[in-house]
Chains A and B, each alone.
Chain A
Amino acid sequence: MNGRALAGRLLPVWAVLVALLLGMVPVGLAGVNPAAAYEEILRGALADVYGFATTLVKTTPLLFAGLGIAVALRAGLVNIGAEGQIYMGGLAAAVVGLSVHGLPSVVHVPLALLAAGAAGGVWALVPALLKVGRGVSEVITTLLMNYVAIYLVSFLAGGPLMEPGAPYPYSRPLDAAAQLPVIIPATDAHAGILLALALAGFLHLIFGYTAVGFRVRMAGANPAAAAYAGVRVHATLVAAMVASGALAGLGGASEVMGLKHRLFDAFSPGYGYDAIIVAFLGAGQPLAVVATAFFFGALRSGADTMQRSLGFPSRSSSRFRGSPCCSSPPAWPCRDGSSAGRGDGRRSPRRCRPPWPQG
């Protein structure tokens, strides 16, 4: 391989390095030595068992959703809706965990996961059907479905499912049998990561070694040639999108069943959006996605530690994830001058229209 080709293949690595370098600027402006900040991140994310456990916790939803987006990517589809699918998966798992009692864990956990996968899958099914039936771009529809899911969870966690007397919108705890076990004692690290890793391995085999994976890749790379070769392109695209949503939905379930043990309002801080970067940097390759998800998980966990130990203003640490723009849905200033972004305490449902004409 010559130099230029090698440089091209390493493009994602350059992108990350440049983003990290750019991240130094605001850190420096905030009056902190950037080198110290990065050192702190690294220490926070990996140096001790607690940091590592936190990194695993943050990696888990990124990996589930990243794998989901990667599956869509292989079919030539862009799933911007992982965030909504995470919420729907979390919601379904919570409902199963809250309403069913008396089952042994070996039944209850799979049942809740199944419900979560189905919910995430259904959330992706709608955009998929609009895409193959009407040619509506999945980029738009998946994004729009996010808002519906986020507000639905917000409504339920603050209303019908809310624990009576709770200070903040969250539900009662799930049945103990529906909770995922902790894998590193005395930390938050839970078994969700094991399931995610197993799925990554499974998907690697699917895409590299099976007829099903070949079919999906064909439909993604050249639908016309795939159709000629006998692939049912529409069915394949719909199936890939549903699988994509189901994987993201499992990410939501693992957050609820493994970490929070309750359904919280706004329980995902934009994992579904970071997962887009995770999947694209991993070029849709499941094993590469494991690496990129871990990288972003470490940044998230390290950034939290650094924030605390260096005394940062809270929002600026999101710079370290490389692309603050994409880790949350865009917020636009309202006509009346108030800002309807995320800054106002809890996640506000008020978001105003973007400044360009719509329609």
Chain B
Amino acid sequence: MTPRGPETAPGALPSVDILRMEGITKRFGPVLANDRVTLAVRRGTVHALLGENGAGKTTLMNILFGLHAPDEGRVLLRGRPVEIRSTREAIRRRIGMIHQQFTLVPPLTVAENIVLGLPPRRGVFLDLRRVEREIESLSRAYGLDVDPRLPVWALPVGMQQRVEILKALYRRADLLILDEPTSVLTPAESEALFAIIRRLVAEGHSVVFISHKLEEVMRISDTITVLRHGRVVDTVRTADTTPAELARMMVGRDVVLRLFKGPPRAGGPALEVDDLHAVGDRGLPALRGVTFTVARGEILGIAGVDGNGQAELAEVIAGLRRPTAGRIRIDGRDVATPAGRRAVADRLAYIPADRGRFGVILDFTIAENLALKAFHRPPFSRGPVLDRSRIIDHARALAERFDIRMNSVLQPVRQLSGGNQQKVVLAREMSGEPVLIVAVQPSRGLDVGASEYVLRTILEQRDRGAGVLYISMELDEVLGLSDRVAVLYGGEIMGIVRPGDARLEDISLMMAGSLRTAQTAAPAQ
């Protein structure tokens, strides 16, 4: 292994721990986000952080990256105590953090994004050619496979994430923090990311990996630290533990990872989509003649590789994207006109893939967000006047029911942990009595307990008589939950099958666009 960089002072003992955080405490008002947390990351390993939503994982890493100052405790980097007061300083100390929200500038190229904010090295001029060559060789060395000349907007999410990784590597980071990197990735992209992580670690880099997916953590990590309510429950070697034990440590009790699902009792149509066409963000056709029906009381899953029209389909049905042709009827009503759309607004629940954009208003309070769709009606309004105490009471009840971890319903949603933001969306959308639920990856960013709760709620809604359109990139999830599955490829439906009847191979072939079934499974009566 190569000797490490200049940060290792000559004469200092080469420490095996690249990072030690000792007794870190961080308060946000009354919330103890981190309570005397101690974390040691060995050089050249993947260290996973696990914990429920709001357990304090992101906070701990934000402290390391100079985004928050700890109230107590100290940080040792490469064996020496350091005080990291800004991200600039963190980067200088060779720490890289890849947040869930990317920080790239879409119109700029990969290379331009990577050098953005760096001082030019040759006088005042930027030698972009040279930078591009450097990025290419870096990219090749770690198997990242990124073309530095492409504009970022043209890259899929998985690639953008690699650009973020490259950006950190270009700044010579050797301790990388990945905060829920796989929550935005398709299973194939996650596989590719794991290969990259293995390569990085083999080269002597160290990685802190945050995820809610236990099987991922089991596969990629060497060591696991579990946090609960801001405290370290335990640090274990991955080889010595099991997913069940991890889940128990996280939640503090045994978790039942099983859903009880009765047969569907399909009723009249909740959603009818007829020959729907739509164009995507890049101006290319995204939906090309999609036709299907979701009955009340059934779950129709949409399977497919990301980028085959799923996002556009959900947005068109939710009224956020205009179709170029075709018809949509929700609960029997045509929603082509604004009036038709408003008429069904209350009977539609939508859990978007991009919650920060469509799901919540980050600067509004939790209470306001929970009343976002009904603020203008009783009981939240009397005439033109808002009834603030009703809005607050309603929010308290929902926060309790959906276990939203917060200080107060008057906090802005921005201050919540990622998973708890998602719970705000779920609480608002799933608490009413919708006729149609459009859910895109609803358990994204949720811990085991919370995702189980979400799936249970979706099933309850189905049994109550709601039609559910369930969109996910994870085939297992779709097959497990849905009553029927439609496979989307290239903006077209390759077939609609019942999960029990269809062979997995056939579904895979349909997802790849090489099989199309003529017959369509009808909803069960």
Chain A residues with Cβ below 8 Å from B352 are 228
Given known A211-B375, A230-B345, A232-B338, contact A222–B386 (CB-CB < 8 A): no
- Whether A228 and B358, one on each chain, are in contact in the complex, defined by CB atoms closer than 8 angstroms, is yes
C-alpha spacing A210/B388, complex, angstroms: 10
A198-248: which residues lie under 8 A (CB-CB) from chain B? 209-212, 214-215, 217-218, 221-222, 224-230, 232
Chain B residues with Cβ below 8 Å from A215 are 376
* Interface residues contributed by chain A, number (CB under 8 Å): 18
Chain B residues with Cβ below 8 Å from A229 are 372-373
Which stretch of B76-84, B113-121, B227-235, B361-369 is in the interface? B361-369
Confirm or deny: B359 has a beta carbon within 8 angstroms of a beta carbon on chain A: yes
- Interface membership of chain B positions 114-158, coded 1 if the CB is closer than 8 angstroms to chain A and 0 otherwise: 000000000000000000000000000000000000000000000
Residue of B nearest to A206 (CB): B384
C-alpha spacing A177/B361, complex, angstroms: 49
* Interface residues contributed by chain B, number (CB under 8 Å): 26
Confirm or deny: B4 has a beta carbon within 8 angstroms of a beta carbon on chain A: no
- Whether A225 and B381, one on each chain, are in contact in the complex, defined by CB atoms closer than 8 angstroms, is no
A-B pairs under 8 A by CB, number? 53
**Interface SS of chain A: helix, strand, loop or mixed?**
helix
Candidates A210, A217, A218, A224; contact of B357 at CB < 8 Å: A224
Chain B residues with Cβ below 8 Å from A217 are 364
Given known A221-B364, A232-B338, contact A209–B373 (CB-CB < 8 A): no
Candidates B338, B342, B358, B388; contact of A225 at CB < 8 Å: B358
Chain A residues with Cβ below 8 Å from B388 are 209
Determine how close the nearest CB of chain B comes to the CB of A231; give it in whole angstroms.
Answer: 9
C-alpha spacing A214/B362, complex, angstroms: 15
C-alpha spacing A211/B383, complex, angstroms: 9
Chain B residues with Cβ below 8 Å from A211 are 375-376, 381, 384-386
- Whether B320 and A228, one on each chain, are in contact in the complex, defined by CB atoms closer than 8 angstroms, is yes
C-alpha spacing A225/B385, complex, angstroms: 22
Candidates B320, B362, B363, B375; contact of A224 at CB < 8 Å: B320
Confirm or deny: B209 has a beta carbon within 8 angstroms of a beta carbon on chain A: no
Residue of B nearest to A230 (CB): B345
Chain A residues with Cβ below 8 Å from B363 are 221
- Interface membership of chain B positions 367-397, coded 1 if the CB is closer than 8 angstroms to chain A and 0 otherwise: 0100011011000010011101000000000
- Whether B320 and A210, one on each chain, are in contact in the complex, defined by CB atoms closer than 8 angstroms, is no
- Whether A209 and B385, one on each chain, are in contact in the complex, defined by CB atoms closer than 8 angstroms, is yes
Chain B residues with Cβ below 8 Å from A212 are 384
- Whether B384 and A225, one on each chain, are in contact in the complex, defined by CB atoms closer than 8 angstroms, is no
Confirm or deny: B181 has a beta carbon within 8 angstroms of a beta carbon on chain A: no
- Whether A218 and B320, one on each chain, are in contact in the complex, defined by CB atoms closer than 8 angstroms, is no
Q: Which of A214, A225, A232 has the most CB of B within 10 A?
A: A225
- Whether B359 and A225, one on each chain, are in contact in the complex, defined by CB atoms closer than 8 angstroms, is yes
- Whether B360 and A210, one on each chain, are in contact in the complex, defined by CB atoms closer than 8 angstroms, is no
- Whether A218 and B373, one on each chain, are in contact in the complex, defined by CB atoms closer than 8 angstroms, is no
Chain A residues with Cβ below 8 Å from B360 are 222, 225
C-alpha spacing A230/B375, complex, angstroms: 11
Chain B residues with Cβ below 8 Å from A228 are 318-320, 350, 352, 358
Given known A224-B357, A232-B338, contact A214–B368 (CB-CB < 8 A): yes
Chain B residues with Cβ below 8 Å from A210 are 384-386
Residue of B nearest to A211 (CB): B376
Chain B residues with Cβ below 8 Å from A226 are 361
Determine how close the nearest CB of chain B comes to the CB of A74; give it in whole angstroms.
Answer: 12
Chain B residues with Cβ below 8 Å from A232 are 338
- Whether B361 and A218, one on each chain, are in contact in the complex, defined by CB atoms closer than 8 angstroms, is yes
Residue of A nearest to B428 (CB): A229
- Whether B375 and A214, one on each chain, are in contact in the complex, defined by CB atoms closer than 8 angstroms, is yes
Determine how close the nearest CB of chain B comes to the CB of A259; give it in whole angstroms.
Answer: 35
B310-367: which residues lie under 8 A (CB-CB) from chain A? 318-320, 338, 342, 345, 350, 352, 357-364
Chain B residues with Cβ below 8 Å from A227 are 319-320
Determine how close the nearest CB of chain A comes to the CB of B101; give it in whole angstroms.
Answer: 15
Determine how close the nearest CB of chain A comes to the CB of B328; give it in whole angstroms.
Answer: 15
Chain A residues with Cβ below 8 Å from B319 are 227-228
- Whether A214 and B386, one on each chain, are in contact in the complex, defined by CB atoms closer than 8 angstroms, is yes
- Whether B361 and A221, one on each chain, are in contact in the complex, defined by CB atoms closer than 8 angstroms, is yes
Determine how close the nearest CB of chain A comes to the CB of B183; give it in whole angstroms.
Answer: 20
| A residues in contact (CB < 8 Å) with B | 209-212, 214-215, 217-218, 221-222, 224-230, 232
19 cross-chain CB contacts under 8 A: A209-B388, A211-B376, A211-B381, A215-B376, A217-B364, A218-B361, A221-B363, A221-B364, A222-B361, A222-B362, A224-B358, A225-B358, A225-B372, A226-B361, A227-B320, A228-B350, A228-B352, A228-B358, A232-B338
| B residues in contact (CB < 8 Å) with A | 318-320, 338, 342, 345, 350, 352, 357-364, 368, 372-373, 375-376, 381, 384-386, 388
User: With A209-B386, A214-B375, A228-B350 given, can you name 16 additional A-B contacts, CB distance below 8 Å?
Assistant: A210-B385, A211-B376, A211-B384, A211-B385, A214-B386, A218-B361, A218-B364, A221-B363, A222-B360, A222-B361, A222-B362, A224-B357, A225-B357, A225-B372, A228-B358, A230-B342
In order of increasing CB-CB distance, the 7 nearest A-B pairs are A211-B376, A222-B361, A230-B345, A229-B372, A229-B373, A221-B361, A211-B381
